[in-house]
């Protein structure tokens, strides 16, 4: 159980274009999804927290107009990298947590397999 699917697993795009990454919870309903970014040989950096039906909460230093997050349903969140530039090239990982906020407060995050974005 608790499977999170992320798509695409890799994408190459040209500078100036936008890229959408999807994150789906396959066998549970996720009220909250998290988007992380990871540079090579480094840890995961939290970008934003996405709650179903409301605006995402972005971490300090993360441009919300650059990284658009939509969490339209309990099983789907999307991250759109707008006007991508080579410095946006990275590994983007989503994670999700179950529906009950009380029991889910202390629950492990379930991660997708990440999306490798390369901007040329």
CA distance 91 to 6: 12
From residue 102, give the alpha-carbon distance in Å to each of 3, 10, 42, 77, 105: 20, 35, 32, 21, 5
Query: Which of 86, 103 has the CB closer to another protein?
Result: 103
Q: Which is nearer to another protein, 13 or 109 (CB)?
A: 109
Does residue 107 touch another protein according to CB under 8 A? yes
Q: How far, in Å, CA of 115 to CA of 29, rounded?
A: 21
Note whether 118 binds another protein by CB under 8 A: no
Contacts with another protein in 40-99 (CB under 8 A)?
A: 41-47, 49, 59-62, 93, 95, 97
Q: Is residue 113 part of the contact set for another protein (CB under 8 A)? A: yes
């Amino acid at each position: 159980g608790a499977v999170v699917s992320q798509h695409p697993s890799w994408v190459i795009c040209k500078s100036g274009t936008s890229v959408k990454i999807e994150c789906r919870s396959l066998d549970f309903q996720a009220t909250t999804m998290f988007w992380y970014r990871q540079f090579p040989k480094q840890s995961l950096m939290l970008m934003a927290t996405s709650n179903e039906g409301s605006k995402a909460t972005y971490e300090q230093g993360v441009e919300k107009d650059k990284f658009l997050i939509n969490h339209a349903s309990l099983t789907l969140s999307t991250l759109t990298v707008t006007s991508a530039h080579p410095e946006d090239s990275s590994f983007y990982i989503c994670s999700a947590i179950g529906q009950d906020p009380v029991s889910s407060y202390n629950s492990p995050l379930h991660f997708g397999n990440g999306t490798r974005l390369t901007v040329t």
